[in-house]
Structure 1
Amino acid sequence: MSYVKIWVHAVWATKNREQVLKPDILKKICNHIFGNAKEHGIYIDRINGHDDHIHVLMILNPDLGVSNQVKLLKGESSHWANKMQLTKNRLYWANKYFASSVSNNKIDFVRKYIDNQQEHHRKQSFGEEYKIFLNSLGYAEGYSDEDFG
């Protein structure tokens, strides 16, 4: 049997960066994503977000790959949120997302970062956060936070 353990930090935003993920809605969506992931063999270690985006620290299901795993989580969660009428208007996720592997020695840092989203975003916008992610991966040129929404 093969053994695969690849940690992934994924972030996705609402379409047009609409700030519809108020605390009560965010909590319901995060809980739903967590449960849905478990049903599909996806281990989520941490999930949290802020008004217009969600962060997930998870282990990659090798049968899905990053693209399909994120697509499954995004698509099913927006479908469920709209069925439950959680938001005034329909919830749409932006087409693009951020995903990066996380080394074992950085797991605790990413956990704390995800856990502290509300505090973190009192000091830094999502756009600033996105640029820091891209810079950390060497993608400083040619990308902007508008690519994300």
Structure 2
Amino acid sequence: MKIEYNNLYTHFVFTTYNRLSLIPEKNRERIEKYITGIVGYNLSKLYAIYANPDHVHFLISRSPSKSEEEIATTIANSSSSFINKNKLAVGKFAWQQSASAFSVSKQDVDGICKYILSQPDHHKKETFDEEYQRFMKYYQNTLQR
């Protein structure tokens, strides 16, 4: 059945292979723009993105014709190829073989966008490992309610 209207917001977190700091600040925006293009090409809309040296956060509203796994795989494969082809990373670039995808309600979109765009300040107070453990604890508790 065709889905005419939808509200399918997903907050993705991709980590670099072995969580190495592979994304230099000087190439961050170019990588973000490339991922933005991939999202749009896949019938989805990007609301916020921030590429840290060892992980990237982005929030999209996705087409119901694409699953989170399909979009994540497409973005990971295409962006890895782009980064390596253009030598935008320190050494050979790869993402981890798995990513995280968190559903977001429409009322939380603005807050998640602010969170993603404030990553540089956020990571002055909390490491990526601490952030990730907090996400896992929060979303596991949400699922157990």
Shift of 1:69: 0.6
In the alignment, structure 2 segments of 5+ residues that lack a partner are none
The 8 Å contact of residues 23 and 90 in structure 2, kept in 1 or not, is answered as: no
Deviations 1:71-104 (A, max 9, x none): 1111100101111111231110001111111011
Q: Name the aligned partner's letter for residue 102 of structure 1.
A: V
Structure 1 runs, 4 residues or longer, greater than 6 Å off: none
Residue 59 of structure 1: aligned partner: 61
- Whole-angstrom distance in 1 between the partners of 2:64 and 2:82: 25
Residue 94 of structure 2: aligned partner: 92
Alignment of 1:28-67 (within 5 A): 28-67=30-69
Residue 142 of structure 1: aligned partner: none
The 8 Å contact of residues 7 and 59 in structure 1, kept in 2 or not, is answered as: yes
Shift of 1:23: 1.4
In the alignment, structure 1 segments of 5+ residues that lack a partner are 140-149
The 8 Å contact of residues 29 and 81 in structure 1, kept in 2 or not, is answered as: yes
State the TM-score, normalizing by the size of structure 2.
0.90
- Whole-angstrom distance in 1 between the partners of 2:23 and 2:65: 30
Q: Name the aligned partner's letter for residue 46 of structure 1.
A: A
Q: Which structure shows the bigger proportion of residues in helix conformation? A: 2
The 8 Å contact of residues 49 and 118 in structure 1, kept in 2 or not, is answered as: no
- Whole-angstrom distance in 2 between the partners of 1:59 and 1:35: 14
Match of 2:13 among 11, 14, 29: 11
The 8 Å contact of residues 50 and 121 in structure 1, kept in 2 or not, is answered as: no
Residue 129 of structure 1: aligned partner: 131
Aligned CA RMSD, in angstroms, stands at 1.2
Shift of 1:43: 0.8
Residue 78 of structure 1: aligned partner: 80
State the TM-score, normalizing by the size of structure 1.
0.88
Residue 106 of structure 1: aligned partner: 108
Identical-pair percentage: 27
Count of residue pairs the alignment pairs up: 139
Shift of 1:49: 2.6
Deviations 1:36-79 (A, max 9, x none): 22122121111113110000100122112000111111110010
Secondary structure in structure 2 of the residue aligned to 1:89: coil
